[in-house]
A and B are shown apart, each in its own frame.
Chain A
Amino acid sequence: MRLQFILSEIGLGLRRNLSMTISVVLVTFVSLTFVGSAALLQIQIGKMKDDWYDKVEVSVFLCPQNSSAPTCASGEVSEDQRADIEAALASPEIKPYVEKIYTESKEDAFTAFQKQFKDQAWTAAVTVDDMNSSFRIKLTDPQKYQLVADVVSGRAGVEDVQDQQRLFDKLFSVLNHATLLAGGLAAVMLLAAVLLITTTIRLSALSRRRETGIMRLVGASTFFIQLPFMLEGAIAATVGALLAVGGLWIGVEYLVSDWLSESVNWIPYVDTADVLTVAPILIVIAILLAAISSLVTLSRYTKV
């Protein structure tokens, strides 16, 4: 009887304030979609770091023929220059930071280049002599890039020193800023959601003042009086959270898995499994939102 009664009260309340209920659902939907997007962006960054930081290396590109760099004034890198650079990399001050050095000849570079851009018409115009031979240095600590770069850059025979991590860090910083933006919007929307749920519960409580008045009079417990209102808010917010999970799932499935990973396939992407990891967090946030709003409102509007 109790459960049935509470359920019917909830149904009544939700229907009586249908437009408010729908707006609560929509606001929590939008705000939690932002929260979820922020979380997925962070997961994306984590995945890329895991995947790439292992492969990150410092590339020391040696002079090819016809380079315009001032350190390449003597033409293609000579054996003496090469030995000089190798000696510098083996010097005691940077030795501890270097895990491994391997050499890529210009022929290797050419093969890799042809393979990577085999579909492009202009690859035919590139010759072996256009390519750089290079030292690829794997660091024990990717943060110590600058030390290594300082030692080799500016030496005769070195055209350029590139740290791949620098490139990634730019991308990560873009993604981090996107996370901040999504998080900021989420915070604003969550505030709107709390206010809206508060208003909805208050309206609902006011429209049922007669009922709650009689309930108090005949000795219904405070919990019993407040429960339907709390559950109303919680149900609306949870529906919003489920919509957000659904929206993110569709977004990841069709935008990322079906489209992005087909067109730019060298990046590991978030997938729908990650959405399911985020889902419980979103639902918990929704329930917390509703609980906070209920506590704030009900203590004032359904006093014993």
Chain B
Amino acid sequence: MIRLENVTKVYARGARPALDRVSLDVERGEFVFLVGASGSGKSTFLRLVLREERASAGRVFVAGKELGTLSSWKVPQLRRQIGAVFQDFRLLPNKTVFENVAFALQVIGKPRHHILTTVPDTLEMVGLAGKEKRRPHELSGGEQQRVAIARAFVNRPNILLCDEPTGNLDPTTSLGIMRLLDRINRTGTTVVMATHDDEIVDQMRKRVIELSTGELVRDQSRGVYGSDR
């Protein structure tokens, strides 16, 4: 589903690479934790997969396409297969829960009847049934993140990228979010989650990829957060 071949990313000429000759493979339906200190290259990895950045060297394949040669007008098509969730939720404050999720379908031109059936289904799946008319500021952090996940998942993407989705949440709420991501993973969606949350990683026992100053230092199935434990 996602393959990196010797990928290097340098932002500014002469600076230390954000990613340094990284090669890895993520299969369809896998659940992968991406760990490492701040500045280790986790976010760069996610940005490369979303084709917000291009690799400086090496090749990135996502859903069978090589992103280096993908023309920019095909990028939207690529992103429709990828859902993305962030630490800061990125909801639209003046839209209701329903509208926030529907927005993702409206802007890619989905027909009205499709939106009217898919959005409530997805909201129910993430556990927000009955809260369609609320606005983001009326919800708790965990609920807001569920809205964001619903928005990322409403178009049934093949890949779900999560950039520290539990970074702003308390442990109990985080656990709820993890259960939700696990459920989404079980539908066959590939989930890649960058995180600092050692408890969650240790508990879930999924594949762990560790980056350190841009280099891949560990790739362990059923791994834990810290390699020295």
Interface residues of A (CB under 8 A from B): 1-2, 5, 210-211, 213-222, 224-225, 304
Contacts and interface: CB of A to CB of B under 8 A. Distances in A.
Interface string B115-137: 10000000000000000000000
Contact of A2 (B82, B109, B151, B155): B109
By DSSP majority rule, is chain A's interface helix, strand, loop, or mixed?
A: helix
Contact of A210 (B73, B82, B90, B107): B90
A220 to B, nearest CB: 4
Interface of B: 50, 72-73, 75-82, 84, 90, 92, 103-104, 106-112, 115, 151-152, 155
A217 B50 contact: yes
B109 A219 contact: no
Given A1-B111, A2-B109, A222-B73, A216 B103 contact: no
Contacts of A1: 106, 109-112, 115
Q: Which 8 A-B pairs have the closest CB atoms?
A: A219-B79, A219-B80, A220-B107, A218-B104, A1-B112, A219-B76, A215-B107, A221-B76
A299 B155 CA distance: 27
Contacts of B155: 218-219
A216 B107 CA distance: 9
A218 B152 CA distance: 7
A220 B151 CA distance: 14
Contact of B76 (A210, A213, A220): A220
Contacts of B75: 219, 304
Contact of A219 (B78, B103, B151): B78
Nearest to A1: B112
A5 B106 contact: yes
A219 B77 contact: yes
Contacts of A218: 79-80, 103-104, 107-108, 151-152, 155
17 contacts: A1-B106, A1-B111, A214-B90, A214-B104, A216-B76, A217-B90, A218-B79, A218-B103, A218-B104, A218-B108, A218-B152, A219-B81, A220-B107, A221-B108, A224-B107, A224-B109, A304-B76
